[in-house]
Amino acid sequence: MDRPFLDLAPCGPLRGVLRVPGDKSVTHRGLMLLALAEGEGRLLYPLKAGDTLSTARALRALGAEIVEEGPHFLVRGRGLRLKEPEDVLDCGNAGTYAPPPGPSRRARGAFRRPHRGRSLRRRPMGRVVEPLRAMGARVDGREGGERAPLAVRGGPLRGIRYTLPVPSAQVKSALLLAGLFAEGETEVVEPVPTRDHTERLFRHFGLPLGVEGNRIRTRRTGPFPARDLVVPGDFSSAAFFLVAALVTPGSEVVVEGVGLNPTRTGLLQVLRSMGADLEWRVLEGEAGEPVGWVRARHSPLKGVAVDPSLIPLMVDEVPILAAAAAWAEGETHIPGLSELRVKESDRLSAIARNLRAWGWRWRRGQTGLGSGAGGCGPERWSPSTTTASPWPSPWRACPWGSGSGSRSGPRSPTPASSGT
């Protein structure tokens, strides 16, 4: 089957105010916690895409009732009594989905190949399997549990103190969820901060949580009631529009209703250090998630050496940062990218390969990227070579756009498809 593709053409200045789809990380976690809650709750303006729909499908197989209501999900949870699935859980390529190995859940069909999730089967699972086994979970899989598919058998769990060998919000979240079923206290120690959506949602649902510096603790919980949750716009989606405005002369773009969780917005700090004309403001929050607007204006950028401690706060935005750096004057060095080699694909290689194909000079190491000096753009294309486009404006075609832009600044966000 032919792969879908887009025909793209250069365009002139980008001007507009728009909203982006719901945050994928919050959607995954919101679905899981609502499935574990008692009663009925709505997930408002979630992201409905391949990964999150895979999570919803897997949770249905575990007994949760999840119904689509227009742009929302209505979830009727099973409390802490997930059932044994009748077949292998098909998680697609959703690496975030990790159902807790609690005493009420016993997965079978251990080594049957799922119909999807080829990239998920390549991802290293040992980093989460090892601490779950230390808690008492019985987990089997290919290569001794290093590769999916996995078989998880329920049983009594005990809390542990675990220091993450590498920063990983997904491993942290899996251990905190398992800790809700474990005897005693479960403590996760982070070497550097990672996205904290799970901790914020624990507070939203009233679940036990203690945070002291880089230590996050939880313990066994009893039944807890469902609560509605509004999903903010996904900052990772917004980043592409912001960078497009920064590198296209005459542009000014405002993204409204976007999540501005400080553990996700490291890209804003890096772009500002490169000379980007950016401003943002937090207006309100839902479930402890900061939400607001970001404005980007065309700016001459300069190369920088990115602080490695910022990478966990912008790991999903590294591809668009690399594109921005290609327009910068001088060299840019982006270290600490080993995690990008074990995502859905080897993103590190893909970034360098695609930028080279467009004529940019990039170097790829085992764990980082570096750009050539001189701020050289591609030999065959430049966004500044044309001031008009025969193609429709993306804001006219974009279903979640909120109208044309204004040089007087962003409008006050109002409830729309991304939720605020």
The residue from 2, 228, 316, 346 that is catalytic is 316
The verdict on whether 316 is a catalytic residue reads yes
| 262 prior amide bond cis, ω within 30 | no
Contact 46, 10 (CB under 8 A): no
Three-class secondary structure of residue 269 per DSSP:
helix
* Angle ∠(57,176,195) on CA atoms, nearest 5: 85
What strand order describes the sheet that includes 161-163? 161-163, 185-189, 215-219, 210-212
* Angle ∠(53,152,229) on CA atoms, nearest 5: 35
Please state the φ and ψ torsions of residue 89, each to the nearest 5 degrees: -75, 125
Which of 168, 185, 81 has the alpha carbon at shortest distance from 129? Answer: 168
CA separation for the pair 320, 326 (Å, rounded): 10
CA separation for the pair 63, 107 (Å, rounded): 13
Three-state secondary structure string covering 98-119: CCCCCCCCCCCCCCCCCCCCHH
Active site residues: 316
